[in-house]
Amino acid sequence: MKPKSHHHHHEHHHHEREKLTDLTARLRRSARKITGPRQAILEVLRHHPHPLTNKEIFAELPKGQCDLATIYRSMHMLETMGLVKRFDFGDGVARFELVGEGDQAHHHHLICTKCAEVVEIDECFQHELEESIAARHGYKSVTHKLEFFGICPECQTRKD
């Protein structure tokens, strides 16, 4: 569960943190209101490199800053606006990560099944695989969800 230091701050997902005012500008462009709760949520996301659950976002917020239901509603809206991306780690809880402006945002994760540590993975399989699968079955607009699971170095040595 402990965040790892970033050995390679040039990896593209560790891009410059988008300023809050730039994020809210994107809201405004979509005729969405810039409210306290929304700014607070974006602020939390801005400071977390890994996907957060709604409850985690809630916990990070100054007490009473915002209702949990509002977070759920906001994440939906931010998702449809493309400001955040939803991830599914297979534990029945949605997680969200900020998507930088102009970011292609396509990446995956390597999750430790013991301690839930998360590592971002920028690589993906060759685009051709997806294309050939889509073509073979006549599907269009094909995307994919891919996450890796394993045991992190620390948990390997830990004798539970």
Residues interacting with its own copies, by CB under 8 A?
88, 90, 92, 110, 112, 119, 121, 123, 125-126, 129-130, 132-134, 137-153, 156
- Please state the closest distance from residue 48 (CB atom) to DNA, in A: 16
- Residue from 92, 102, 138, 153 in contact with DNA (CB under 7 A): 92
Q: Which of 51, 105, 61, 62 is nearest to 81 (CA)?
A: 105
45 Cβ contact list (under 8 Å, min separation 6): 52, 57, 84, 96, 97, 98
- Residue from 3, 14, 25, 36 in contact with DNA (CB under 7 A): 36
- Please state the closest distance from residue 104 (CB atom) to DNA, in A: 24
Phi first, then psi, for residue 62 (nearest 5°) are -50, 135
Q: Binds 53, which of its own copies, DNA, none (CB < 5 to 8 A, cut-off by type)? A: DNA
Please give the Cα distance from 23 to 63 (Å, whole number): 23
